[in-house]
Structures are given as structure tokens and as C-alpha cells.
Chain A
Amino acid sequence: MHQEPDYNEITKEWHGSLQSYFIGFGTSLLLTGIAYLIALARGSISREVVVLTLAGLAICQAIAQVLFFLHVGEEPKPRWQTLVFLFMVLVLLIVLLGTWWIIFDLNERVMKM
């Protein structure tokens, strides 16, 4: 049996650093600012292009925060946290894309007035 680690050892298991927080924060500020400006000054760009761009920016920012704020993928092996995270992404995609697919297919078939 092993002993429980003390405070200094515990703090070493936590992976945050000042640098990672500043990178995550700067990236988030930049991407939010760009999204805000695009939505405000859209002009004559088509709706599809704007929606796809905004979705892309949101996903980039989410990835930056997952890496630099939540420190996914930095824990020692075996990487259970990363594995659980990826499984969540899989379930999430099934829920979102599955809903999208079923509901809009139903719309096509039933809701035609």
C-alpha cells in the first residue's frame, strides 16, 4: 500500500501554469472579439458563410480552453481524463447530429403545408 501524497506532491499533480492561462485567455479574447465584429459588421456576406465562420471560431475557442484552461491531455498516463473527454465528445455528436438528422427529416416528410 502507498501513502497519500502531501500538499507539495498534490500541487504538482495539477497542471496549470501562468503561461498556459495567458495563452488560453488571449486566444479566447481574440476569437470572441473576431466573432463579435463579424456578427456586428456582417454586410452583404451570405448567412451560411457567417454561420459556418462563427461555428468554426466557437470550436477553435473551445479547443483552446480545453487545452489551456482545463489541461486535458496533460495528465500522466494512463490518460483517463482525456479518454472520458473523447467519449463525451462522441456521445455529444451522436445526440446533436442524430437530433438534427431525425427532426429535419421529419420536417421534410410531415410539415409540408
Chain B
Amino acid sequence: MVDSSPNQELTYPDPHQDAFSRTILGFWIYLMTDAILFATLFATYGVLHTSTFGGPGPNDLFSIPLSFAETMLLLFSSFTSGLGMLASTKRNKGHALFWMGLSFLLGLSFVTLELTEFTGFVNEGHSWQTSAFLSSFFTLVGTHGLHVSFGLLWLAVMFIQIIKLGFTVDTFRRLVCFNMFWHFLDLIWIFIFTFVYLMGKI
């Protein structure tokens, strides 16, 4: 007997053909292009970080304990948002909202700490206009901070959507996208922490 179906092993749901899979793949491609944007900013920083124009260098400005605290906040936020996803798959609204709220507070603390650091630099007279090093530093770390801030806005919107709309195919898809975005920002931060802050101090 000859089977006419070319994809006999493919049973429903057909992978990658539904709206969920297509959206996730599209959003993933956006994240990959964002990674290339960050790669160009890292390359710029790598080239310019010694060009201090007589001003302060990385070793004079950065504080390892402060950047370590920022790293921990973002890592914990990434982890708790993952736990929120697990609660969402079980349709556990209380747990999901708790983990999302916690991720939001951790992310907000991260942004607050980063803004405190930035205003400290500017108030000491070391703004992005001081040197090529500081321009590239503020561009790289600021772009990441801007991503995190928009992520917080997104998370707040998702929090309200889960309360109002509950767990539907649409809200779950948005949660998965947000979660990918949040993990991705933590991934970028590892490199900022290592290559900007730690290597700036040694």
C-alpha cells in the first residue's frame, strides 16, 4: 500500500504553521537583530574605551559591588519571570501575577540603580560629552537600560491583561514573547557586566 501523505509522522498540531509558532519565530528573529545591534555597540565600546580625552577612565568610575547588585537584580528578575510562565501554563493566576509582580519590582530596582549610577556620573561632571569612552559607555549601557524600561512597561501591560482577560491563547503568546525579551536582556547584561564593568576594573 502506498501512502500519499508526504509528512506521515506530522500529526496535529503541525509544527510552526499556527499563529503561535509563527509569532514566536518572528519575535525571535527580531531579538537576533537586536543582538547584532548590541554587538555593534560592544564593538564601538571596545574600540573607544581607552579614549578618555584626559577625563576619567573605566577604572576611576565603575564600582564592582554596584554593578554586581544590578546583575543579581536582573538575574533574579529573569528567573522569577520564568516561574511566572510556568504558573501560566498551569493557568494559576495568583502565582503567575505574584511572579510577574516580583519580576517587575526587581526590574524596576535595576533601572533605579542604573539611573542613580548615571546621574552620579553626570553630577560629577562626567557626562557623555566628556570623552569618546563615556559616549560609547552611555550609548551601550543606556540602550540596554532603555530596553529594560520598555520591558517594564510591557510587563505592566501584561499584568493588567492577565487580570482582565485571563489566560487565553493571545495573552499566553504575548507572555512567551515578553519572557523571551526579558531573558534576552539578562543575556546581554552578562556581557555588559563582564566586558564593561569587571574588565574596566582589572
What 0/1 pattern do residues 1 to 32 of A give for CB contact below 8 A with B?
Answer: 01111110111011011100100110011001
B15 touches A76 (CB 8 A): yes
The listed residue (A7, A29, A39, A77) touching B168 by CB distance below 8 A is: A7
Residues of chain A whose beta carbon lies under 8 Å from any beta carbon of chain B: 2-7, 9-11, 13-14, 16-18, 21, 24-25, 28-29, 32, 35-36, 39-40, 42, 47, 50-51, 54-55, 57-58, 61-62, 65-66, 69-70, 75-78, 80-81, 84-85, 87-88, 91-92, 95-96, 99-100, 103
The CA-CA distance from A42 to B64 in the complex, in Å, is 13
CB contact under 8 A between A91 and B36, given known A32-B193, A58-B191: yes
Q: Which of B121-129, B151-159, B179-187 lies at the interface with chain A?
A: B179-187
Interface centre among B43, B186, B190, B199 (most CB of A within 10 A): B190
B39 x A92 contact (CB < 8 A): yes
* B16 A78 Cβ-Cβ under 8 A: yes
Contact present for A36 and B79 (CB under 8 Å): no
Partner of A36 from B20, B43, B68, B195 at Cβ < 8 Å: B68
Can you pick out 7 interface pairs between chain A and chain B where the beta carbons lie within 8 Å of each other? A4-B19, A5-B20, A6-B169, A32-B72, A55-B194, A58-B194, A88-B35
Which secondary structure characterizes the binding site on chain B?
Answer: helix
Would A32 and B71 count as touching, CB distance under 8 A? yes
Q: Which 3 A-B pairs have the closest CB atoms?
A: A88-B32, A58-B194, A99-B43
Q: Is the interface of A mostly helix, strand, loop or mixed?
A: helix
Rounded to whole angstroms, the CA-CA distance of A16 and B172 in the bound complex is 13
Kindly state whether residue B145 has any CB partner on chain A within 8 Å.
no
Q: Determine which of B35, B36, B186 lies in contact with A65 in the assembled complex, contact meaning CB atoms within 8 Å.
A: B186
Which of B64, B201, B202 has the most A CB atoms < 10 Å from its CB? B202
Report chain B residues within 8 Å CB of A47: 202
Q: Which residues of chain A are within 8 angstroms of B25 by Cβ–Cβ distance?
A: 80-81, 84
A62 adjacent to B16 (CB under 8 Å) = no
B143 at the interface (CB under 8 A from A): no
B187 to chain A, nearest CB (A): 5
B110 on interface, CB distance cutoff 8 Å: no
A57 / chain B contacts, CB cutoff of 8 Å: 194
What is the CB-to-nearest-CB distance from A48 to chain B, in angstroms, rounded to a whole number?
11
When distances are taken between beta carbons in the complex, the residues of chain B under 8 Å from A81 are: 24-25, 28
Q: Which B residues are CB-close (under 8 A) to A28?
A: 75, 190
Pick the residue among B12, B19, B79, B176 that contacts A14 (CB under 8 A): B176
Q: Is B198 in contact with A21, judged by CB distance below 8 angstroms? A: no
A51 CA / B201 CA spacing, docked (Å): 11
Once the chains bind, are B75 and A2 in contact (CB under 8 Å)?
Answer: no
Q: Specify which chain A residues have a CB less than 8 angstroms from the CB of B112 in the assembled complex.
A: none
